[in-house]
Structure 1
């Protein structure tokens, strides 16, 4: 015979067990609320203001504002389009060179038998990847500028060398892009199994065939993801180029600064917002490529 108290307690216990996960989920959402509020204030509000300003034109006579695409049209014409294309070329070339050199350096570090050397290179890469801006520009000007130490010692200016040019800026960008690539691709290189190389060698594959048919296909998502990350870092850089080359190399970040400060035309602040929106579109396309590659490469890092 079934105890009435037991029969009543069973549904109550089941209901309590069902509500426990719901309570935990609610508590989890409450813990995330401060972060969501912070993100909304720090990123959401400026983004909304930027988009609104990019599509707004103010009448100088009446002061009335109206919505139009004139700012976006202007941002894709003339000197602004040249600067956008210049930033894309500079970022793409710097990212490609940095990805190749960073991969070679990371491979040398991973295969090194000296643990101290590996830790030193990775530590230095972590520092140099975040070293930029005016201090980096000053360091290169003092070293490779017109009166720099190496320029005067080796007579580089006599051979047509100029730091304040497109290629000079590429060299400066590589200073922080190569360490960034080392940090990005090292975990993927460490994920390559020794058994894969041994299996390839046992089947008669050469080192080149192993890299072409085994290692590079496995590393491809991480390499492409690193290339995209380097492109985004170079594309968004401003202070280094502003301090070193000024307006001699057309870049979209420098055009935004000129439009805001009124160096070219007064009242071009909304055009600067349109240029910023162009940069966000490019960065969004870059992240749309990077995130799937990052998820795909993560399975090889376990």
Structure 2
């Protein structure tokens, strides 16, 4: 039988303290090496995104005088919130919010039908087609709609839509074109969330004699609501930043901020409005940052229920 000496008892706390002080040091070295793996991605982001944003921010608050000197001013931002520039910003917000809302409402029953379908081939085909269509945009999309629903389009002539007052080159026509790629994008966003609804929740609702409508109203919809809002914000950002489709189809007939930025940079309407265009670009970046922040918060909230 061994007995602990006073010296050993006195040394025991000091040994434990040394172990406690050494352990955090070893653990603290691991994150430092972990950053090396993402260093190329961070460098790429700084070069591709950071430098252009910095140059845009500097140009939005500066102006070149007649003598060639550069002065700091807030006149560019003041001009971006006045007259046709403000009208274009509000037009983009209105078009993006409306098209995102319609796409959210239409995509929910489509995603529900995909998830509840017994045919696996149908699910895979719809999701694959949605992935392709969601990335189809720009000038080809504009040409496809012009050839189909334009003034001399196939469906326009076949159904006599021109005589009924239909015009593709209008606000609602552009909204329909945006829905073409927004609805598939929302379907891809909602399908994993609908898969995350646990069958036990529906069984519990049925055991309590709840109808299908009551289940969706009190159980499923509250759980999916953060995902719906997150998807709406994602669609809003996609529509808000779209340029090529609107520029190729309607040009400047509909006030949109992306088209107005291009016109200001090229001097199609007014010469020397490049710095105002940079201010408009900064306004878009601010809106996109707010949209991304809201989307991240909503995704965190929905993941707690669907995990």
TM-score by length of 2: 0.91
Aligned residues: 294
Structure 1 residue ranges, 4+ long, deviating more than 6 angstroms after superposition: none
Q: CA deviation at 1:16?
A: 7.7
Unaligned runs of 5+ in 1: none
What corresponds to 1:38 in structure 2? 44
In 2: Cα distance, 1:168 partner to 1:134 partner: 15
Unaligned runs of 5+ in 2: 5-10
What corresponds to 1:55 in structure 2? 61
Q: CA RMSD in A?
A: 1.8
Between stretches 191-200 and 20-29, larger displacement belongs to 20-29
1:1-302 equivalent positions in 2, closer than 5 A: 19-59=25-65, 61-302=66-307
Contact 1:140 1:172 in 2 (8 A): yes
In 2: Cα distance, 1:114 partner to 1:29 partner: 45
Distance 1:32 1:175, change over 3 A: same
Q: Alignment partner of 2:63: what SS? A: strand
In 2: Cα distance, 1:107 partner to 1:198 partner: 18
The CA deviation string for residues 263-290 of structure 1, in whole angstroms up to 9 with x for no partner, is: 0111111000000011111112212211
In 1: Cα distance, 2:210 partner to 2:149 partner: 45
In 2: Cα distance, 1:246 partner to 1:195 partner: 52
TM-score by length of 1: 0.93
In 2: Cα distance, 1:222 partner to 1:168 partner: 28
Q: CA deviation at 1:20?
A: 4.2
Contact 1:188 1:300 in 2 (8 A): no
The CA deviation string for residues 233-260 of structure 1, in whole angstroms up to 9 with x for no partner, is: 0000000000000011110000000000
In 2: Cα distance, 1:207 partner to 1:163 partner: 40
Q: Alignment partner of 2:258: what SS? A: helix
In 2: Cα distance, 1:17 partner to 1:247 partner: 64
In 1: Cα distance, 2:58 partner to 2:68 partner: 16
